[in-house]
Amino acid sequence: MYNVQKLHRELEEAGIPIVGVSSDGRVDFKDEATKAQRAQVDEIKVKHDSTPDPTPKEQYATLTGLEEKVAFIARQLGLSDGE
């Protein structure tokens, strides 16, 4: 199974003209897709990570955790007044 949104984005970022993709890996190409571009899809699909993208809430939690770690390190290095 493929993560449809991620695979679609990966193919577009590679410059491959597509109409869409399906979760079983089928790719619908635009007419202008070359043989080389069509062949490149197999390489991208092999490297594809179907793990869902983090939700905005998960992204926020990660950033909050990073901010806390940076603040801690800054305090340890004496680069912060402790606030």
| pLDDT higher than 60, residue 82 | no
Secondary structure (3-state) at 76: helix
Q: What is the mean pLDDT of the chain?
A: 89
Looking at the fold, whether 37 and 17 belong to one and the same domain comes out as yes
- The per-residue pLDDT for range 29-49, each reduced to its tens digit, is 999 999 999 999 999 999 999
| pLDDT higher than 80, residue 52 | yes
Q: Give the structural domain span for 5.
A: 1-52
Looking at the fold, whether 58 and 25 belong to one and the same domain comes out as no
Q: Please give the model's pTM, rounded to 2 decimal places.
A: 0.64
Looking at the fold, whether 8 and 45 belong to one and the same domain comes out as yes
Looking at the fold, whether 24 and 61 belong to one and the same domain comes out as no
* Count of structural domains within the chain: 2
pLDDT of residue 18: 96
Token pair in block for residue 24: 């079983």
Query: Of 57, 27, 61, nearest to 44 (Cα)?
Result: 27
Looking at the fold, whether 64 and 44 belong to one and the same domain comes out as no
Rg (CA), the chain: 20
User: Largest alpha-carbon pair distance within the chain?
Assistant: 61
Looking at the fold, whether 33 and 61 belong to one and the same domain comes out as no
